[in-house]
Structure 1
């Protein structure tokens, strides 16, 4: 579940899909895989933890690439 707070001071990194990226990061850091099994977030991601957020993040990034491709196509006409 996304965790956005109105009163939280935003620490935006200026990158696309930053909100989903932060949610994925938090999900991994709070997962039992990291906390109890002491594995790295990268290992846990490979094992399928937080899969829904990972897919959402990839879809967001893919949509950004599609948008850029569209504008490049229009500009070349």
Structure 2
């Protein structure tokens, strides 16, 4: 699995969860759904035709974004750092 950290590659997006978002994008773009079936990453996620690795990254990205909105977790820090 490819892991991107904002410091390593100098990602333009330095917001929280940016590294997880980059991993999810690359996972979807390298999947057979996008390459062979010529579907967009959004269509692959809607059809659930992407690999389980991408679905796990999607869930992790969701949890990271949810932690940004949760007032109790503001004091603990954001996930994805």
TM-score band, normalised by the shorter chain? 0.7 to 0.9
The gaps in structure 2 that reach 5 residues or longer are 75-81
Determine the structure 2 residue equivalent to 1:3.
3
1-structure distance, mates of 2:9, 2:39? 30
What is the RMSD computed on CA atoms of the aligned residues? 2.1
- TM-score w.r.t. the length of structure 1 is 0.74
C-alpha contact 1:20 1:56 (8 A) present in aligned 2: yes
The total of aligned residue pairs comes to 68
Please say which structure displays the higher CA radius of gyration: 1
- TM-score w.r.t. the length of structure 2 is 0.71
Off by >4 Å, runs of 4+ in structure 1: none
